[in-house]
Amino acid sequence: MPLSRSLSMSSLSGLPLWEDEGLPVEDLLLFEVAWEVTNKVGGIYTVIQTKAKITVDEWGDNYFMVGPYYEHNFKTQVEGCDPPNPAIKKAMDCLTNNGCQVHFGRWLIEGSPYVVLFDIGAAAWNLDRWKGELWDTCGISLPFHDREANDSLIFGSMVAWFFKELTDGFQDMPNVIAHFHEWQAGAGLVLCRSRKLPLATIFTTHATLLGRYLCAGNVDFYNNLDKFNIDKEAGERQIYHRYCLERAAVHCSHVFTTVSQITAVEADHMLHRKPDMVTPNGLNVKKFSAMHEFQNLHSINKAKIQEFVRGHFYGHLDFNLEKTLFFFIAGRYEFTNKGADIFLESLSRLNYLLRVHKNDVTVVVFFIMPAKTNNFNVESLKGQAVRKQLWDTAHQVKEKFGKRLYEALLKGEIPDMNTILDRDDVTIMKRAIYATQRHGLPPVTTHNMLDDGSDPILSNVRRIGLFNCRTDRVKVVFHPEFLSSTSPLLPMDYEEFVRGCHLGVFPSYYEPWGYTPGECTVMGIPSVTTNLSGFGCFMEEHVTDPAAYGIYIVDRRFRSADESCNQLTQFMFGFCQQSRRQRIIQRNRTERLSDLLDWRYLGRFYMHARHLALSRTFPDKFKMDTAAPLRTDGFRYPRPSSVPPSPSASLHSTPHHSDEEDEEPYDEEEEAERDRQNIKAPFSLETVPSGKKKLPG
């Protein structure tokens, strides 16, 4: 198959033109090595899966992914085939003839990239020998009880063996680039470099090992980066051998990258090497043919959430659903890392503000975080049954009413509204109303929790007293399972749910990138993030006024926890003050930023990293002026020049005419064109706002 070069970096509206890096991909082979190839474990799976299409467009049949073999994954996700390159087939055969098993095929995702998968179990008999080689090579010892570390060594040893056979079969062409992701793939990089294989190597860390462990332990991480005794901390957590593998891979690679600027600062201290560049994470952005289609999807899916709320809050549905906003937080259940602690405290303060200002807006907040449960909550299921019964009763009475009205009109009569409903109809409706009475409060959680008493979210809900009382303007729903369209409670998948909400809130303390606010952005849903997340840093750098585009960035880096909590409260309260029209305008602006997160734009950072690796590995063949500024220059969207996104606090302390249309003219196409006018500004790795304390180092 000929190489496909259909990728056009200039096709994204409003983004600066991109000069081609000019790599002769016909004379190169690109391998991307990751534990998550065809193997969904964490966020890296999303990165490599969504990036596959633009990489295949650029490299064609010269691009291969490398990962571990799992029989179930191979049977359900991979179409087996023979390698198109004879050298690759020869290298695979060499491993197979020596007692290993290697599988090849096309991964059935967008782009259909080739994959080379190594069977770890079939090669486990080599483990002791490979452990000895690792110790002799770099003095790293792996304990027998760490299954994941041992598997990563088996995988890395097979990858290095494969690359040795592959490069031995080449004379001078083609040159090979090997891009390794995370510490599980790091052993392969270390072994390749120790054997002096002619490879251009790149290593990307998506989050440092020790950083994750330290933040999970509730330490003041970012203010103490230069104070940690790294070896001691890793040893106390029994991950010293993993940390050594990660650090060795970082220092052995020709090019070291991270996914965000905040992780670059972290890596500089934790791994003692400053990243050569940042390679941000992107998404495959689906652009809609009609500009308002995503607005229509918001209305459709909001109606589905409203149906759930009608059932969940039956008997207490004394608030106007048309003036109800849906907020949500979703992700792994890491209470402090994901910012659920600060979110709950801010909700308590928001509830106070809405009550004091006698606000008619109600906020229903969803926590979508998987926790240990044993089944659905009976009260939650009953609520949906009661709602359905009311719906059926209403339709039954409506049918009778409509038939009698129709017959009266056929006779040329105006029916007597006092007699058109008979006594039985009234009795049925009264029984339905009495069935909606409940003596307790609507449940906070939709499931029966196994550790209800010690659950962090429920413990904090008890502390702040948000029990879904009638007087509360903020209601809480904790859904401790990932969403599914087959659920009897909330039958929606995650994308539908996000589109139906008004605001995603992700005030993370430790978030190397953060796909959840990015997914909100491409779906046109405003979100809250922080300047300690990679996504927040990226938006601060690229957008002059992120809040005007529906990206609210909480300062958790330079402010105290209480100040950050107050800032988040003000963001949410200001959002509640917006009129319906202002929210529509803001969603239009938010969706316009989606091009920023498209791999067609962000893929250029990976292109630059490959070119840099080749210039360092094969300087005679590939030239790059390292003193010149990066071609991957950023840019900044200017602040929208039309209607402000939220009311001015100096004029009204409470919302006014929240559902009435403002008279100020607004031309969406004209504003969209203004938003596409960009102001170029180069990247800088550690930009610190003036007057603020810089991180150590």
**pLDDT band at residue 43 under the 50/70/90 scheme:** confident
Distance CA 341, CA 568 (A): 12
DSSP per-residue string spanning 496-527: HHHHH-SEEE---SSBSS-HHHHHHHHTT--E
Q: Provide the pLDDT for residue 421.
A: 79
Q: How far apart are CA 314 and CA 480, in angstroms?
A: 21
**Mean pLDDT value across residues 346-368:** 96
Q: How far apart are CA 403 and CA 696, in angstroms?
A: 77
Q: What percent of the chain has pLDDT over 90?
A: 70
Contact 262, 221 (CB under 8 A): no
Confidence of residue 173 (pLDDT cuts 50, 70, 90): confident
In 644-683, alpha helices (H): 668-675
User: What residues are paired with 178 via a beta bridge?
Assistant: 31, 201
In eight-state DSSP terms, residue 533 is: B
Q: Which residue, among 559, 48, 572, has the nearest Cα to 282 in the 3D structure? A: 48
Return the structure tokens found at 277: 């560049």
Which is the CATH superfamily of the domain at 292-376+443-596? Glycogen Phosphorylase B; (3.40.50.2000)
What are the structural domain ranges in the chain? 25-278, 292-376+443-596, 378-440
Region 668-680: what's the mean pLDDT? Answer: 51
Q: Is 325 helix (H, G, I), strand (E, B) or coil?
A: strand
Q: Is the peptide bond before 174 cis (omega within 30 degrees of 0)?
A: yes
Q: What pLDDT is stored for residue 669 in this prediction? A: 59
DSSP state of 638: P
Distance (Å, whole) CA 504 – CA 496: 13
The percentage of residues in the chain with a pLDDT greater than 70, rounded to a whole number, is: 86
SS3 282: coil
Statement: residue 645 has pLDDT above 60: no
Residue 8 pLDDT grade (very low, low, confident, very high; cuts 50, 70, 90): very low
Q: For 210-214, 293-297, 624-628, which range has the lowest pLDDT when averaged over its residues? A: 624-628
Integer CA distances (angstroms), 491 to 373, 478, 480, 640, in order: 18, 15, 14, 37
* Bond preceding residue 83 cis, omega within 30 of 0: no
The class of domain 25-278 in CATH terms is alpha beta
The answer, yes or no, to whether residue 607 has pLDDT greater than 90, is yes
- Does position 513 have pLDDT exceeding 50, yes or no? yes
Average pLDDT over residues 155-173: 91
Q: What is the DSSP letter of 187?
A: H
List of residues 6+ apart from 29 with CB closer than 8 A: 62, 64, 85, 174, 175, 176, 177
pLDDT grade for 629, boundaries at 50, 70 and 90: low
Task: State the Cα–Cα distance between residues 209 and 200, nearest whole angstrom.
Answer: 24
pLDDT at 681: 35
Q: What are the distances in angstroms from CA 106 to CA 36, 74, 110, 560?
A: 15, 10, 11, 50
pLDDT at 161: 97
Task: Report which of 51, 49, 4 is spatially closest to residue 25, judged by C-alpha positions.
Answer: 4
Confidence label for 202 from pLDDT (cuts 50, 70 and 90): very high
Judged against a pLDDT cut of 50, whether residue 372 lies above it is answered with yes
Spatial separation of the C-alpha atoms in residues 446 and 482, rounded to whole Å: 12
Which burial class, exposed, middle or buried, applies to 352 when counting CB atoms under 10 A from its CB (0-12, 13-18, 19+)? middle
Position 404, amino acid: R
Please give the pLDDT value at position 162. Answer: 97
Please, what sign has the CA dihedral across residues 308, 311, 312, 315?
positive
Report residue 15's pLDDT band, with 50, 70 and 90 as the boundaries. Answer: low
Indicate the pLDDT class of residue 103, thresholds 50, 70 and 90: very high
Q: Quick: pLDDT tens for 269-301.
A: 999 999 999 999 999 887 654 557 888 999 999
- Give the helix ranges, DSSP H, for 473-598: 494-500, 515-522, 534-542, 561-576, 580-592
Say which residue, 351 or 544, is predicted with more confidence.
351
Residues 6+ apart with CB under 8 A from 471: 355
Structure confidence at residue 360 as a pLDDT band (50, 70, 90): very high
What burial letters (b/e) apply to 115-125, b meaning 16+ CB within 10 Å? bbbbbbebbee
pLDDT, tens only, 441-463: 999 999 999 999 999 999 999 99
Distance of alpha carbon 631 from alpha carbon 517, whole angstroms: 27
Query: Which region among 15-24, 67-76, 344-353, 549-558 has the lowest average model confidence (pLDDT)?
Result: 15-24
* Residue 565: other Cβ atoms inside 10 A: 22
DSSP single-letter state for residue 173? -
Burial class (CB in 10 A: 0-12, 13-18, 19+), 333: middle
Distance CA 344, CA 367 (A): 10
181 in Cβ contact with 33 (< 8 Å)? yes
Q: Which of 474-488, 546-560, 621-635, 672-686 has the lowest mean pLDDT?
A: 672-686
CA angle 118, 124, 128 (to 5 degrees): 130
pLDDT classification of 351: cutoffs 50, 70, 90: very high
Residue 230 has pLDDT above 70, yes or no: yes
Residue 641: pLDDT band with limits 50, 70, 90? low
Question: Does the pLDDT at position 508 exceed 60?
Answer: yes
For residue 415, the model assigns a pLDDT of: 82
Q: Is 356 helix (H, G, I), strand (E, B) or coil?
A: helix
* pLDDT at residue 329, rounded to an integer: 98
Mean pLDDT for the stretch of residues 657-682: 48
This prediction has a pTM of 0.86
Under 8 Å between Cβ of 355 and 573: no
Q: Is the pLDDT of residue 16 over 60?
A: no
Q: Angle 561-576/340-356 helices, nearest 10 degrees?
A: 50
State the Rg of the chain over Cα. Answer: 29
**Which residues are CB-contacts of 689 (< 8 A; sequence separation ≥ 6)?**
558
Please check the confidence at residue 622 and state whether its pLDDT lies above 80.
yes
Query: What is residue 89's predicted lDDT score, i.e. its pLDDT?
Result: 95
Task: Give the pLDDT band of residue 422 (cuts 50, 70, 90).
Answer: confident
pLDDT average, residue stretch 516-521: 94
pLDDT greater than 70 at residue 72: yes
Compute how many other C-beta atoms are within 10 angstroms of the C-beta atom of residue 364: 24
The dihedrals phi and psi of 459, each to the nearest 5 degrees, come to -60, -40
Q: Is the pLDDT of residue 679 over 50?
A: no
Tell me what the mean pLDDT of segment 615-639 comes to.
73
The total of other beta-carbon atoms located within 10 Å of residue 425's CB is: 16
Question: What is the predicted pLDDT for the residue at 693?
Answer: 44
pLDDT band at 400 (very low <50, low <70, confident <90, very high): confident
Q: Output helix, strand, coil percentages for the chain, rounded to the nearest 5.
A: 45, 15, 40
Look up tokens 């080449």; give the residue: 170
Distance CA 349, CA 303 (A): 28
Model confidence at 241, pLDDT cuts 50, 70, 90, reads very high
DSSP 80-93: E---SSHHHHHHHH
Q: What is the rounded average pLDDT for all residues in the chain?
A: 87
pLDDT band at 7 (very low <50, low <70, confident <90, very high): very low
